[in-house]
Structure 1
Amino acid sequence: MLLNVILGILFCLALLFGVSCFIKLISVKRQLKDMTDTMNDIQSGNGSRKILAVGNELTADLSYKMNEIVYDYEEQLSQLRVTDETNRQLMTSLSHDVRTPLTTLIGYLDAIHRGVAAPKNQEEYLEIARRKAHDLKEYIDILFDWFKLNSSEFSLSIEQTELAELTRNILKDWIPIFEEKHLDCEIEIPEKPLLAKVDLDGYTRIINNLVQNVMSHSQATQIKIKMLKKEAEIKIRIEDNGVGIEKPDLQHIFERLYKCDKGRSNKGSGLGLSIVRQMVEKMDGKITVHSVPNQYTVFTVCFPERN
């Protein structure tokens, strides 16, 4: 009798276990079908779909992982769209910013070559052609830097560098240009060595781009460049007394292809400051800008000090 009771209990337990497994199997099949339907929907282009799951479901971990993969995929797709739009804008900008000065350059040189320009005007035409050629070179250099920075093959050669002497060597090439443009300059760099880990070419590009930005856009009569160590950071401040940057423009000043609409020259690619920010961040630095229109603009670049 006791044996029959035990067997009955075991049978009931086995039956309950079988029913439970069957219910779970049905539930898992339903969840897998929902996942398949969702993935088909995502594959069709609806990236906003997500696989819903309750924490105690057998497929919950798989659902969460697949949602992460879809989210990462959508992020990459969004970045590709932004890159594609940026490249499209670059091609439009290239068409205008390169073809226009190139056409002007060819026009002046052709006028001299064909003898259309009077002898007294030839020197003036050659000077205009020279300036246009330099503008083209500057623009092409920036484009090259931009594409190089955003290439998968781009890499920096980071090494410990004495920034004070390096900065002096970079700025000494600007002194004749400051004098030619009648731009008063104040340069303050400490004699004490200041060490940081940077890429030499990248750091040079940062300083040159920021100085060139002043020359091209600020309409300033004075530039102040100061290097100092504060706490555990090396700071480079580049300040001018030009037209400044309007407050609405400040938050966008480092964006790709962004050009201020007011108070600054239309000349330029809109890439220079974006390149500067990318270079700075790739070297674990940071860059900020403060400006009061018609009073001053100051860019501050900071790098961690490395002893």
Structure 2
Amino acid sequence: MRFINQSPLQRLRTSLLSRYVLIIVTALVFIPVLIPASFMASWAVNRMLMLGGQETYQLPYGSAYELEQMWHKHAKALAAASPAEIDARLSALKEEYPDAALFWVDGAGITQLQLPVQATLPKQWSAEDTIAFMKAGINADPYTVVALIGGDEQAKQGFMVFKLPRSYLTPQGRPSDSRFYGLFMALIFGIFILLSYLFFRDIRKRLLRLEAAMTSVGENGLPSPTDEGRPDEIGRLEQAFNHMVNQLEEGRRRERKEEELRKNLIANLSHDLRTPLTVLAGHLYSMGNEPLSAQGRQSLALMEAKLDDLDHLIDHLLSYNLLASGKYALSMERQDVHRIVRESAAAWYPIWEKAGMTVDIDLPDEPLRWAVDTQGFRRVLDNLFQNVVRHAGTGKYVGIHTARWKGRPALIITDRGPGLDAASGFKGAGLGLAIIELLLREMGLRLDAESSAKGTRFAIFPAS
């Protein structure tokens, strides 16, 4: 019991709860360190990618500042230009910026050339439309630049608009810093989840191993010991389980030893009693040949009856001992039970007649075939018939018939005696009935009893 004498501090240190709390605390402590480290690692990776392939990651149309300067420059250059010249300049710019959307509005607020055509634009612009359009373009996608034709000091020629999706303002082909930051954070949480998974997988593996040890049964009918792991809660549970198995094995050994002593005692006692009983029987027989008074004859008959009862009890003890030890040899054979019952009843009929009992035997002509040992089944019937004579003789009745019992064909033996003790059942009625139960169990049969003050019914039927 190497875990039993652990101090509270040792138990806390080896506890599963302590180990998992350590994992969580480590994760919480490292989060403030790992988040800045993730930023720095993400920046470094992006920097390396930019240095390693700068030409590949340049903006296709330049930066937003460069586009804004370009658009205002072209707008200022169109001062005093005719509508045709403005259209020509916008067409040229469309070829230079094919992914952009261009249009212009003249001084009267009428929409002119659209490259491409945009159905959402008003044909006639009011001051409110212009203000709303410019407000909606602030920090919006697409990126929008509005410039007055002829320059900021000129407003008579109208204005022209340049619109470009903001995706063209992001370096193309290069992952953003946020993606690498997310990758590093995912890696950190992945490590935490992996550690948690390994922790609980180890617990599950050990619990399954303990479950297998609990459910598997060895040759002795007891669970097998399991390997003891780390000195944590599961390790202490494994140790307690092994201690329980050892105690069960020790108890089983003591039980077998006591059972063997009991069987030897019964066997020796039964054999030792045979000799004085035989001598007593001989002397009682000799006394029976002597002239005796009527009271002497009565006492002699009583002694002979009790001696006979004692002889039967010894037989029962020997039979029970053999049955309990599994040494009672049975020769199982499928045969007609009705025939065996009729033969046994015929042998007992004179005894029942002498006791003044009414015999009611109602067995059908159809055979009732069970796999039984002939001598063993006769022994069962003899014990039941003897029980009727000794314990239910006052009822002056014995009935033998067949019927359905719990859905199976059964042999029913009935008496009208005072009944068995309801608290103990038929097992408490005597050693003879205990022998009956053991014999029937060996033959795959069962014995049930229904008892009341009006009598008892014994039912013999197949166990399955």
Larger radius of gyration: 2
Query: What residue number does 1:167 align with?
Result: 341
Q: 1:35 aligns with which of 224, 230, 234?
A: 234
Aligned residue identity for 1:36: G
Q: What SS does the corresponding residue of 1:242 show, helix, strand or coil?
A: coil
Q: 1:140 aligns with which of 302, 309, 314?
A: 314
Post-superposition CA distance 1:154-187 (Å, at most 9, x none): 6754432111112112222212332444444332
Q: Alpha carbons of 1:118 and 1:137: their partners in 2 closer, same or farther (altered >3 Å)?
A: closer
C-alpha distance in 2 between matches for 1:234 and 1:172: 23
Q: 1:277 aligns with which of 429, 437, 440?
A: 437
C-alpha distance in 2 between matches for 1:195 and 1:110: 44
Q: So what's the TM-score if we normalise by structure 1?
A: 0.60
Matches within 5 A, 1:12-91: 12-27=185-200, 32=206, 33-45=232-244
Question: Contact 1:225–1:236 at 8 Å: present in 2 too?
Answer: no
Question: Contact 2:337–2:368 at 8 Å: present in 1 too?
Answer: yes
C-alpha distance in 2 between matches for 1:165 and 1:35: 63
Aligned residue identity for 1:239: T
Query: What residue number does 2:457 align with?
Result: 298
Gaps of 5+ in 2: 1-45, 47-173, 207-231
C-alpha distance in 2 between matches for 1:120 and 1:30: 90
Q: Alpha carbons of 1:155 and 1:119: their partners in 2 closer, same or farther (altered >3 Å)?
A: closer
Aligned residue identity for 1:38: L
Query: What residue number does 2:379 align with?
Result: 205
Q: What SS does the corresponding residue of 2:423 show, helix, strand or coil?
A: helix
Post-superposition CA distance 1:182-211 (Å, at most 9, x none): 444332322332223333333223212211
Q: Alpha carbons of 1:220 and 1:234: their partners in 2 closer, same or farther (altered >3 Å)?
A: farther
C-alpha distance in 1 between matches for 2:282 and 2:418: 37
C-alpha distance in 2 between matches for 1:163 and 1:190: 11
Matches within 5 A, 1:227-242: 227-230=401-404, 233-242=408-417
Question: Contact 1:218–1:244 at 8 Å: present in 2 too?
Answer: yes
Question: Contact 2:403–2:412 at 8 Å: present in 1 too?
Answer: no
Gaps of 5+ in 1: 48-69, 260-269
Q: Alpha carbons of 1:94 and 1:183: their partners in 2 closer, same or farther (altered >3 Å)?
A: farther
Query: What residue number does 2:158 align with?
Result: none
Question: Contact 1:236–1:300 at 8 Å: present in 2 too?
Answer: yes
In the TM superposition, residue 104 of structure 1 has moved relative to its aligned partner by 7.8
Q: What SS does the corresponding residue of 1:203 show, helix, strand or coil?
A: helix
Question: Contact 1:288–1:299 at 8 Å: present in 2 too?
Answer: yes
Q: What SS does the corresponding residue of 2:456 show, helix, strand or coil?
A: strand
Q: What SS does the corresponding residue of 1:248 show, helix, strand or coil?
A: coil
Question: Contact 2:284–2:304 at 8 Å: present in 1 too?
Answer: no
Question: Contact 2:334–2:371 at 8 Å: present in 1 too?
Answer: yes
Q: Alpha carbons of 1:110 and 1:151: their partners in 2 closer, same or farther (altered >3 Å)?
A: closer
In the TM superposition, residue 244 of structure 1 has moved relative to its aligned partner by 2.0
Q: What SS does the corresponding residue of 2:418 show, helix, strand or coil?
A: coil
Q: What SS does the corresponding residue of 1:297 show, helix, strand or coil?
A: strand
In the TM superposition, residue 301 of structure 1 has moved relative to its aligned partner by 2.0
Q: Alpha carbons of 1:300 and 1:117: their partners in 2 closer, same or farther (altered >3 Å)?
A: closer
Query: What residue number does 1:176 align with?
Result: 350
Q: What SS does the corresponding residue of 2:350 show, helix, strand or coil?
A: helix
Query: What residue number does 1:287 align with?
Result: 447
C-alpha distance in 2 between matches for 1:234 and 1:274: 23
> Aligned pair 1:223/2:397, yes or no?
yes
> Aligned pair 1:214/2:373, yes or no?
no
C-alpha distance in 1 between matches for 2:305 and 2:385: 18
In the TM superposition, residue 4 of structure 1 has moved relative to its aligned partner by 9.0
C-alpha distance in 2 between matches for 1:274 and 1:235: 19
Q: Alpha carbons of 1:290 and 1:191: their partners in 2 closer, same or farther (altered >3 Å)?
A: same
Q: Alpha carbons of 1:225 and 1:185: their partners in 2 closer, same or farther (altered >3 Å)?
A: same
Question: Contact 1:108–1:126 at 8 Å: present in 2 too?
Answer: no
Post-superposition CA distance 1:205-257 (Å, at most 9, x none): 321221121123223352323223549743322222222224334xx322xxx
- Give the superposed CA RMSD: 5.0
C-alpha distance in 2 between matches for 1:152 and 1:118: 44
Aligned residue identity for 1:247: A
Q: What SS does the corresponding residue of 1:21 show, helix, strand or coil?
A: helix
C-alpha distance in 1 between matches for 2:450 and 2:385: 16
Q: Alpha carbons of 1:16 and 1:148: their partners in 2 closer, same or farther (altered >3 Å)?
A: farther
C-alpha distance in 1 between matches for 2:234 and 2:344: 59
**What is the percent sequence identity of the aligned residues?**
20
In the TM superposition, residue 37 of structure 1 has moved relative to its aligned partner by 0.4
Q: Alpha carbons of 1:112 and 1:287: their partners in 2 closer, same or farther (altered >3 Å)?
A: closer
Q: What SS does the corresponding residue of 1:205 show, helix, strand or coil?
A: helix
Matches within 5 A, 1:257-276: 258-259=428-429, 270-276=430-436
Q: 1:244 aligns with which of 408, 413, 419?
A: 419
Q: State the aligned residue count.
A: 260
C-alpha distance in 2 between matches for 1:117 and 1:239: 37
Q: So what's the TM-score if we normalise by structure 2?
A: 0.43
In the TM superposition, residue 153 of structure 1 has moved relative to its aligned partner by 6.1
C-alpha distance in 2 between matches for 1:3 and 1:180: 112
C-alpha distance in 2 between matches for 1:112 and 1:158: 40
C-alpha distance in 2 between matches for 1:109 and 1:210: 26
